[in-house]
Amino acid sequence: MKKILFVFFIPTAILLCVWYLASIHIASSLILPSPLFVFTRFVLLIKENLFWEHVFYTILRTILSFLYSLVISIILGIAIGFSKSFSLLLKMPLSVIKATPVVSFILLALFWFTTSQVPIFVSVLMTLPIITSSVALGIANIDIKLRQMARVYGLTKKQKILHIYLPSVFPSFASGALSAFGLSWKVVVAAEVISLPKRAIGTSLQTAKVHIETADVFAISILIIALSFVLELLLSALFKNAMKWREKDA
Protein backbone atom coordinates (compact mmCIF):
# COMPACT_ATOMS: atom_id res chain seq x y z
CA MET A 1 0.00 0.00 0.00
CA LYS A 2 2.85 2.36 0.88
CA LYS A 3 4.52 1.65 -2.45
CA ILE A 4 1.30 2.42 -4.37
CA LEU A 5 0.98 5.66 -2.40
CA PHE A 6 4.45 6.87 -3.41
CA VAL A 7 4.41 5.50 -6.94
CA PHE A 8 0.89 6.56 -7.99
CA PHE A 9 -1.19 8.71 -5.63
CA ILE A 10 1.39 11.28 -4.50
CA PRO A 11 2.80 11.96 -8.02
CA THR A 12 -0.77 12.19 -9.38
CA ALA A 13 -1.78 14.64 -6.64
CA ILE A 14 1.28 16.81 -7.32
CA LEU A 15 0.62 16.76 -11.07
CA LEU A 16 -3.03 17.76 -10.57
CA CYS A 17 -2.03 20.61 -8.24
CA VAL A 18 0.51 21.96 -10.73
CA TRP A 19 -2.03 21.58 -13.55
CA TYR A 20 -4.71 23.40 -11.54
CA LEU A 21 -2.41 26.28 -10.57
CA ALA A 22 -1.17 26.61 -14.16
CA SER A 23 -4.76 26.71 -15.48
CA ILE A 24 -5.61 29.49 -13.00
CA HIS A 25 -2.52 31.45 -14.01
CA ILE A 26 -3.20 31.09 -17.75
CA ALA A 27 -6.95 31.70 -17.26
CA SER A 28 -7.94 30.33 -20.66
CA SER A 29 -9.72 27.00 -21.14
CA LEU A 30 -8.73 27.05 -24.83
CA ILE A 31 -5.04 26.89 -23.88
CA LEU A 32 -5.12 24.93 -20.62
CA PRO A 33 -8.50 23.82 -19.20
CA SER A 34 -8.74 23.07 -15.48
CA PRO A 35 -8.64 19.44 -14.25
CA LEU A 36 -12.29 19.70 -13.15
CA PHE A 37 -13.42 20.87 -16.60
CA VAL A 38 -11.46 18.06 -18.27
CA PHE A 39 -12.96 15.52 -15.87
CA THR A 40 -16.47 16.83 -16.69
CA ARG A 41 -15.81 16.40 -20.42
CA PHE A 42 -14.32 12.96 -19.75
CA VAL A 43 -17.50 11.81 -17.97
CA LEU A 44 -19.66 13.11 -20.82
CA LEU A 45 -17.49 11.39 -23.44
CA ILE A 46 -17.56 7.96 -21.81
CA LYS A 47 -21.34 8.10 -21.72
CA GLU A 48 -21.48 8.24 -25.53
CA ASN A 49 -21.86 4.89 -27.33
CA LEU A 50 -20.18 6.27 -30.45
CA PHE A 51 -17.09 7.17 -28.45
CA TRP A 52 -16.75 3.57 -27.23
CA GLU A 53 -17.03 2.40 -30.85
CA HIS A 54 -13.97 4.54 -31.57
CA VAL A 55 -12.19 3.00 -28.59
CA PHE A 56 -13.12 -0.54 -29.64
CA TYR A 57 -11.77 -0.16 -33.18
CA THR A 58 -8.52 1.38 -31.98
CA ILE A 59 -7.99 -1.48 -29.52
CA LEU A 60 -8.83 -3.96 -32.29
CA ARG A 61 -6.28 -2.39 -34.65
CA THR A 62 -3.65 -2.44 -31.91
CA ILE A 63 -4.23 -6.11 -31.09
CA LEU A 64 -4.29 -7.12 -34.77
CA SER A 65 -1.10 -5.22 -35.59
CA PHE A 66 0.60 -6.67 -32.50
CA LEU A 67 -0.38 -10.23 -33.45
CA TYR A 68 0.79 -9.75 -37.06
CA SER A 69 4.06 -8.33 -35.77
CA LEU A 70 4.49 -11.25 -33.35
CA VAL A 71 4.08 -13.88 -36.05
CA ILE A 72 6.38 -12.17 -38.56
CA SER A 73 8.97 -11.20 -35.94
CA ILE A 74 9.18 -14.70 -34.43
CA ILE A 75 9.84 -16.17 -37.88
CA LEU A 76 12.47 -13.53 -38.71
CA GLY A 77 14.01 -13.71 -35.22
CA ILE A 78 14.44 -17.48 -35.43
CA ALA A 79 15.96 -17.16 -38.90
CA ILE A 80 18.39 -14.46 -37.70
CA GLY A 81 19.22 -16.39 -34.53
CA PHE A 82 20.20 -19.55 -36.37
CA SER A 83 21.64 -18.09 -39.59
CA LYS A 84 24.46 -15.53 -39.75
CA SER A 85 23.82 -15.00 -43.45
CA PHE A 86 20.16 -14.17 -42.82
CA SER A 87 21.23 -11.90 -39.96
CA LEU A 88 23.51 -9.92 -42.28
CA LEU A 89 20.80 -9.81 -44.95
CA LEU A 90 18.23 -8.23 -42.62
CA LYS A 91 20.59 -5.98 -40.66
CA MET A 92 20.28 -2.97 -42.98
CA PRO A 93 16.47 -3.17 -43.60
CA LEU A 94 15.79 -3.38 -39.85
CA SER A 95 18.16 -0.47 -39.21
CA VAL A 96 16.40 1.61 -41.86
CA ILE A 97 13.01 0.92 -40.24
CA LYS A 98 14.38 1.97 -36.83
CA ALA A 99 15.86 5.19 -38.22
CA THR A 100 12.85 6.29 -40.28
CA PRO A 101 10.38 8.68 -38.57
CA VAL A 102 6.92 7.20 -37.94
CA VAL A 103 5.22 10.03 -39.78
CA SER A 104 7.12 9.17 -42.99
CA PHE A 105 5.71 5.64 -42.98
CA ILE A 106 2.22 6.96 -42.20
CA LEU A 107 2.27 9.39 -45.14
CA LEU A 108 3.61 6.73 -47.52
CA ALA A 109 1.08 4.16 -46.31
CA LEU A 110 -1.75 6.58 -47.15
CA PHE A 111 -0.91 5.99 -50.83
CA TRP A 112 -1.00 2.21 -50.47
CA PHE A 113 -3.76 1.31 -47.99
CA THR A 114 -7.20 2.33 -46.81
CA THR A 115 -7.49 4.67 -43.83
CA SER A 116 -8.33 1.74 -41.54
CA GLN A 117 -5.36 -0.32 -42.72
CA VAL A 118 -2.73 2.42 -42.43
CA PRO A 119 -2.45 2.26 -38.60
CA ILE A 120 -2.08 -1.54 -38.68
CA PHE A 121 0.59 -1.51 -41.38
CA VAL A 122 2.65 1.25 -39.76
CA SER A 123 2.39 -0.34 -36.31
CA VAL A 124 3.58 -3.72 -37.61
CA LEU A 125 6.48 -2.04 -39.39
CA MET A 126 7.62 -0.03 -36.35
CA THR A 127 7.39 -2.92 -33.85
CA LEU A 128 8.95 -5.53 -36.14
CA PRO A 129 12.60 -4.70 -35.29
CA ILE A 130 11.94 -4.77 -31.52
CA ILE A 131 10.42 -8.25 -31.30
CA THR A 132 12.70 -9.66 -34.01
CA SER A 133 15.78 -8.46 -32.11
CA SER A 134 14.50 -9.85 -28.80
CA VAL A 135 13.88 -13.30 -30.29
CA ALA A 136 17.25 -13.34 -32.05
CA LEU A 137 18.98 -12.18 -28.86
CA GLY A 138 17.27 -14.90 -26.84
CA ILE A 139 18.49 -17.56 -29.27
CA ALA A 140 22.03 -16.12 -29.29
CA ASN A 141 22.12 -16.25 -25.48
CA ILE A 142 21.19 -19.94 -25.21
CA ASP A 143 23.85 -21.64 -23.09
CA ILE A 144 26.20 -23.62 -25.33
CA LYS A 145 26.47 -26.26 -22.59
CA LEU A 146 22.73 -26.92 -22.85
CA ARG A 147 23.07 -27.49 -26.59
CA GLN A 148 25.96 -29.86 -26.02
CA MET A 149 23.98 -31.71 -23.37
CA ALA A 150 21.06 -32.06 -25.78
CA ARG A 151 23.35 -33.65 -28.36
CA VAL A 152 24.94 -35.98 -25.81
CA TYR A 153 21.58 -37.24 -24.54
CA GLY A 154 20.12 -37.40 -28.05
CA LEU A 155 17.14 -35.14 -27.40
CA THR A 156 14.59 -34.89 -30.19
CA LYS A 157 13.84 -31.55 -31.88
CA LYS A 158 10.58 -31.32 -29.93
CA GLN A 159 12.38 -31.90 -26.63
CA LYS A 160 15.03 -29.31 -27.53
CA ILE A 161 12.36 -26.74 -28.35
CA LEU A 162 10.28 -27.39 -25.21
CA HIS A 163 13.06 -27.79 -22.67
CA ILE A 164 15.94 -25.67 -24.01
CA TYR A 165 14.93 -23.11 -26.63
CA LEU A 166 11.57 -21.92 -25.25
CA PRO A 167 12.72 -21.42 -21.62
CA SER A 168 15.87 -19.62 -22.82
CA VAL A 169 14.22 -17.37 -25.39
CA PHE A 170 10.95 -16.57 -23.60
CA PRO A 171 12.26 -13.94 -21.08
CA SER A 172 13.92 -11.92 -23.84
CA PHE A 173 10.91 -12.37 -26.11
CA ALA A 174 8.45 -11.28 -23.39
CA SER A 175 10.46 -8.15 -22.62
CA GLY A 176 10.61 -7.19 -26.30
CA ALA A 177 6.93 -7.98 -26.83
CA LEU A 178 5.88 -5.74 -23.92
CA SER A 179 7.94 -2.85 -25.27
CA ALA A 180 6.56 -3.44 -28.75
CA PHE A 181 2.97 -3.50 -27.51
CA GLY A 182 3.37 -0.13 -25.81
CA LEU A 183 4.84 1.30 -28.99
CA SER A 184 2.15 -0.34 -31.11
CA TRP A 185 -0.60 1.42 -29.15
CA LYS A 186 1.08 4.83 -29.61
CA VAL A 187 1.79 4.29 -33.30
CA VAL A 188 -1.78 3.15 -34.04
CA VAL A 189 -3.25 6.27 -32.40
CA ALA A 190 -0.72 8.55 -34.15
CA ALA A 191 -1.50 6.96 -37.51
CA GLU A 192 -5.23 7.36 -36.88
CA VAL A 193 -4.77 11.08 -36.22
CA ILE A 194 -3.28 11.47 -39.70
CA SER A 195 -5.20 8.84 -41.70
CA LEU A 196 -8.58 9.56 -40.02
CA PRO A 197 -10.41 6.20 -40.16
CA LYS A 198 -14.18 6.39 -39.69
CA ARG A 199 -13.99 4.82 -36.21
CA ALA A 200 -10.85 5.57 -34.18
CA ILE A 201 -9.66 7.32 -31.05
CA GLY A 202 -7.13 9.19 -33.20
CA THR A 203 -9.98 10.51 -35.32
CA SER A 204 -11.73 11.73 -32.17
CA LEU A 205 -8.53 13.51 -31.13
CA GLN A 206 -8.16 15.20 -34.50
CA THR A 207 -11.84 16.23 -34.52
CA ALA A 208 -11.47 17.77 -31.05
CA LYS A 209 -8.35 19.61 -32.20
CA VAL A 210 -10.02 20.99 -35.33
CA HIS A 211 -13.00 22.21 -33.28
CA ILE A 212 -10.58 23.72 -30.72
CA GLU A 213 -12.05 21.58 -27.94
CA THR A 214 -8.94 21.52 -25.77
CA ALA A 215 -10.68 19.86 -22.83
CA ASP A 216 -11.73 16.98 -25.09
CA VAL A 217 -8.16 16.57 -26.33
CA PHE A 218 -7.02 16.31 -22.71
CA ALA A 219 -9.85 13.92 -21.78
CA ILE A 220 -9.22 11.61 -24.75
CA SER A 221 -5.46 11.68 -24.13
CA ILE A 222 -5.98 10.67 -20.50
CA LEU A 223 -8.17 7.76 -21.63
CA ILE A 224 -5.50 6.69 -24.14
CA ILE A 225 -2.87 6.68 -21.38
CA ALA A 226 -5.15 4.75 -19.01
CA LEU A 227 -6.04 2.15 -21.64
CA SER A 228 -2.39 1.72 -22.58
CA PHE A 229 -1.51 1.16 -18.92
CA VAL A 230 -4.31 -1.40 -18.42
CA LEU A 231 -3.59 -3.31 -21.64
CA GLU A 232 0.13 -3.51 -20.86
CA LEU A 233 -0.65 -4.79 -17.36
CA LEU A 234 -2.89 -7.50 -18.83
CA LEU A 235 -0.23 -8.55 -21.32
CA SER A 236 2.42 -8.56 -18.59
CA ALA A 237 0.20 -10.74 -16.40
CA LEU A 238 -0.35 -13.10 -19.34
CA PHE A 239 3.39 -13.49 -19.87
CA LYS A 240 4.00 -14.04 -16.13
CA ASN A 241 1.33 -16.75 -16.03
CA ALA A 242 2.86 -18.37 -19.10
CA MET A 243 6.26 -18.37 -17.40
CA LYS A 244 4.81 -19.94 -14.23
CA TRP A 245 3.02 -22.57 -16.31
CA ARG A 246 6.29 -23.41 -18.05
CA GLU A 247 8.12 -23.73 -14.73
CA LYS A 248 5.43 -26.06 -13.33
CA ASP A 249 5.37 -28.08 -16.52
CA ALA A 250 9.14 -28.43 -16.42
What integer pLDDT is reported at residue 118 of this predicted model? 92
Rounded to two decimals, the pTM is 0.83
Give the model's pLDDT for residue 156: 66
| Dihedral, CA of residue 227, residue 229, residue 232 and residue 236, to nearest 10 | -140
List Cβ neighbours of 75 (8 Å cut-off, separation of 6 or more): none
* pLDDT number for residue 120: 93
pLDDT beneath 50: ranges in the chain: none
Using one digit for the tens of pLDDT, what is the confidence trace for 4-33?
555 567 777 888 888 888 888 887 778 888
pLDDT of residue 27: 76
Answer for the pair 95, 151: CB distance below 8 angstroms, yes or no: no
Residue 161 backbone zone (phi > 0: left; psi -120 to 50: alpha; other: beta): alpha
Q: What is the pLDDT of residue 2?
A: 56
Q: What is the pLDDT of residue 191?
A: 92
